[in-house]
Amino acid sequence: MSADGLTGRHVVVSAGPTYEDIDPVRFLGNRSSGKMGFAIAAAAVRRGARVTLVAGPVALPTPGAGEGDLRRIDVRSAAQMHAAVFAAMPADVYIGAAAVADFTPQQVATGKIKKQPGEPGLTLQLVRTRDILADLAGHGLRPRVLVGFAAETHDMERYARGKLSDKRLDLIAANRVGMAGSGFESDDNALVVYGAGLECALGPAPKIELAGRLLDLVAQRLEDDSPASGMAETR
Ligand code: CTP
């Protein structure tokens, strides 16, 4: 195993938004650019990991093309992302950088929804999507390290730690949205990574640099978790 601890590991990364179709011409989406997830995939490939990148609808070139072992799977909806991530298992690490829709229309209209004369509004019935991270945490093939992301406007630590425990994650990378120089379309970001006994502020820095520092924490968790380190502790 190399010093960075990811050589030969299978790392699955989700990135970008999901689009939830309403009818053949409309969808519900969000402002995720996919840049953070693509930066993590690029950094993991450079460290010798075998990477599966499950990408929502983004306008980004495949990272690390020709540099290493990276397979990209393009999906559109939260349900497709859930299926693609599970199909990619088993893995050592799953990093959920995608902004997966929490709700999707109960039904997709087969024809374009037309406004009716005199109709004051339109009510869409939404249902919850399946949570990829939480489902992986409870799955027999749970990756050894599960990492989530939390984009918060306020009470960041409380909400991020809540997601860490509710979804039974190893690490959660939180960022404050709505601040200049960070967030969705930006090339820079600032994260605070929380875990059991861990609070680590990263950045502000370019997303590619943050990706490397996040992977340092992931590699550390893998190492802490390895049978060899367990033996060392009991000696
Ligand atoms: N996530 C997931 N599957 C979903 C929804 C979200 O795996 N169906 C993951 C995202 O990839 C991200 C984390 O969960 O890593 C985000 O947590 P979430 O609770 O969805 O955050 P918000 O959407 O911001 O929810 P809330 O409104 O509760 O803040």
Closest Cα to atom 8 of ligand 1: 131
Q: List Cα–Cα distances, 92 to 70, 158, 166, in angstroms.
A: 15, 28, 21
Q: 45 and 69 in contact (C-beta within 8 Å)?
A: yes
Q: Which of 26, 28, 30, 73 is catalytic?
A: 30
**Number of residues that make up the chain:** 235
Stretch 110-139: mean pLDDT, rounded?
96
Q: State residue 1's pLDDT score.
A: 45
175 is catalytic: no
Query: 102 phi and psi, to 5 degrees?
Result: -85, -20
177 CA distance to ligand 1 centroid (A)?
14
Domain ranges, ordered by start, for the chain: 10-102+124-234
78 CA distance to ligand 1 centroid (A)?
11
Q: What is the pLDDT of residues 153-183, one digit of tens each?
A: 999 999 999 999 999 999 999 998 876 555 5
141 CA distance to ligand 1 centroid (A)?
20
Q: Which atom of ligand 1 is nearest to the CA of 133?
A: 7
Q: What is the pLDDT of residues 33-65, one digit of tens each?
A: 999 999 999 999 999 999 999 999 999 999 876
Q: Which of 118-122, 215-219, 227-231 has the highest mean pLDDT?
A: 215-219
User: Looking at per-residue confidence, does 210 or 63 come out higher?
Assistant: 210
CB proximity list for 228: less than 8 A, separation 6 or greater: none
Q: 182 and 202 in contact (C-beta within 8 Å)?
A: no
Ligand 1 first shell, C-beta below 6 A: 14, 78, 96, 98, 100, 102, 129, 131-133, 148-151, 163
Looking at 3.40.50.1820, 3.40.50.10300, 1.10.260.40, 3.30.559.10, the CATH number of the domain 10-102+124-234 comes to: 3.40.50.10300
Its pTM stands at 0.93
Q: Which atom of ligand 1 is nearest to the CA of 167?
A: 14
What's CA 217's distance to the chain center, in Å? 16
